[in-house]
Amino acid sequence: MGFLQDGKWNDSWYDTKSTGGKFVRSTAGFRNWITPDGAAGPTGESGFKAEAGRYHLYVSYACPWAHRTLIFRTLKGLTALITVSAVHPDMLSDGWTFSTDFNGATGDDLFGLPYLRDIYTRAMPDVSGRVTVPILWDKERGTIVSNESSEIIRMFNSAFDHITGNTLDFWPEAERHEIEKVNERIYDTVNNGVYKAGFATSQDAYDAAITPLFDTLDWLEERLSKTRYLMGDNQTEADWRLFTTLARFDLVYHGHFKCNKRMLKDYPNLWAYTRDLYQTQGVAKTTRFDHCVRHYYYSHDMINPHRILPITPELDWSEPHGRD
Ligand SMILES: N[C@@H](CCC(=O)N[C@@H](CS)C(=O)NCC(=O)O)C(=O)O
């Protein structure tokens, strides 16, 4: 794993020395928006009009951030409009690759390139930054629209509605303030919290991440004892942002990232809630547990140097959730 510096690949792990053992996530570099008429969005430049067949998503099925975008593509009826390529789950010295020797790894359907980093340099030959998934690619302009999942899901939520007729709204105007508040806590302590615990290279950094993580899970357990979803009776983006971390919790984060105070299945409400979301039409197909287990345990050899893939807990995702 590494990063691009002026278009050249550098193979090195995250630098946690300069931050006292703490993992600090860098911000995404491409921040344009697809809009119904191609006008500029909240950030970036104009020119990315919502059109069927124009855009392509590069994802890893292992990645919780990419998983959000796959879920929104499904829930918003965009599967026929936006094509997808999935990388191989192993992220080693070349970063994400388009090798196809793993079930579900498609290769690069657009250009047949070997590495995900080649997509970044194709968009910008002298690009610097981490080579992350997801990437939303514009086939017409031959460039990256966005590599920030939280913004891609907001584009998918509404930009194509006039084409698909799908008006499900996971970012309702009246609830935005509350959703942002909940998102912020969940991002910091859960979505990114598991990474802060797992990638910590000092005891202090691990301790600082692990306590807030389980405090938030306790808080969510209580909140979800009162309502079906985080904001009440309807699913919002807050649920889907949380879901992709919870779906990986017992299989991966509990063991590999040492998030082991409790398992998700020890929380009756949270576990039933996660199954409820998983059982939502189309979502199971976006969820590839085989890619998750393989990616984390095999790729992070500084955490798991012998690359032994663990036996994983038995979880019945089809058990009725009983929530309504
Ligand atoms: N801000 C990004 C973060 C994406 C991200 O960190 N993806 C991980 C995979 S789970 C990645 O590709 N990491 C490669 C790297 O950091 O080199 C988003 O939410 O879209």
**CA neighbor of 292 nearest in space, from 80, 105, 63:** 63
pLDDT of residue 119: 98
Is residue 187 part of the annotated active site? The answer reads no
Catalytic residue, from 63, 115, 229, 297: name it: 63
**CA neighbor of 297 nearest in space, from 266, 265, 256:** 256
Is residue 298 part of the annotated active site? The answer reads no
> Of ligand 1's atoms, which has the minimum distance to the CA of residue 3?
17
Chain region(s) in the chain for CATH 3.40.30.10: 3-164
> What is the full DSSP assignment across 155-215?
HHHHTTHHHH-----SS-GGGHHHHHHHHHHHIIIIITHHHHHHT--SHHHHHHHHHHHHH
Q: Regarding the domain with residue range 3-164, which homologous superfamily does it belong to in the CATH classification? A: Glutaredoxin (3.40.30.10)
CATH 1.10.10.1590 fits 173-281, yes or no: no
Residue 15 pLDDT > 90, yes or no?
no
Any atom of ligand 1 within 6 Å of the Cβ of 131:
yes
Residue 24 pLDDT > 90, yes or no?
no
8's enclosing H/E stretch is strand 8-10
pLDDT in tens, 200-250: 999 999 999 999 999 999 999 999 999 999 999 999 999 999 999 999 999
pLDDT in tens, 282-323: 999 999 999 999 999 999 999 999 999 999 999 999 999 999
Q: What percent of the chain is predicted at pLDDT more than 70?
A: 100
82's enclosing H/E stretch is strand 82-86
Chain region(s) in the chain for CATH 1.20.1050.10: 173-281
Q: How far apart are CA 135 and CA 118, in angstroms?
A: 12
- Strand ordering across the sheet containing 3-5: 8-10, 3-5, 129-130
Average pLDDT of the residues of the chain? 96
Any atom of ligand 1 within 6 Å of the Cβ of 65:
yes
pLDDT in tens, 35-57: 999 999 999 999 999 999 999 99
For the question of whether the overall pTM of this predicted structure is more than 0.85, the answer is yes
